[in-house]
């Protein structure tokens, strides 16, 4: 398991610590599904996710490329675990300590224009 300090990457996700007040106005809380937050959907169903315990996920409507995480300090959980739901050739789990984070999906340029990188 990789311990995150200021910045980390998992597949097509870049996670970086931001100031607590850096979440944009208008960001809306996203309810977890099945006790977890899927932060990046995979076209093959091998999503990147966090257990929802102590984790708040926020998104700005209309921007599918950026999300925000607030991870609460909890005596029971020292950090949140960003997992990749694939049993083979998986990305290493990332331990994210309490704090506020921005998650960005990678994108790439093609002759047709910008598109999201698919992991």
Would 12 be classed as within a structural domain? yes
Would 23 be classed as within a structural domain? yes
Would 117 be classed as within a structural domain? no
Distance CA 1, CA 92 (A): 6
Mean pLDDT in residue range 105-110: 65
- Asked whether residue 116 carries a pLDDT value surpassing 90, the answer given is no
Who's near 74: CB < 8 A, 6+ residues apart?
A: 53, 54, 98
Would 32 be classed as within a structural domain? yes
- Asked whether residue 101 carries a pLDDT value surpassing 90, the answer given is yes
Would 114 be classed as within a structural domain? no
For the chain, what is the domain count? 1
Distance CA 49, CA 60 (A): 18
Give pTM, 2 decimals: 0.79
CA atoms within 13 A on the CB side of 45: 1
- Asked whether residue 9 carries a pLDDT value surpassing 80, the answer given is no
Domain encompassing residue 85: 2-106
pLDDT in tens, 12-69: 788 999 999 999 999 999 999 888 888 876 666 567 778 888 899 999 998 888 999 9
67 token code pair:
């999300």
Would 96 be classed as within a structural domain? yes
């Amino acid at each position: 398991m990789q311990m995150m300090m200021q910045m980390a990457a998992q597949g097509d996700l870049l996670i970086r610590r931001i100031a607590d007040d850096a979440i944009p106005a208008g960001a809306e809380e996203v309810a977890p599904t099945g006790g977890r937050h899927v932060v990046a959907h995979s076209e093959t169903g091998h999503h990147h996710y966090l257990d929802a315990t102590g984790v708040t996920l926020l998104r700005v409507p209309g921007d599918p490329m950026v999300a925000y995480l607030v991870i609460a300090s909890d005596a029971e959980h020292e950090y949140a675990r960003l997992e990749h739901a694939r049993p083979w050739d998986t990305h290493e789990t990332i331990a994210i300590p309490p704090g506020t984070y921005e998650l960005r999906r990678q994108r790439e340029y093609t002759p047709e224009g910008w598109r999201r990188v698919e992991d």
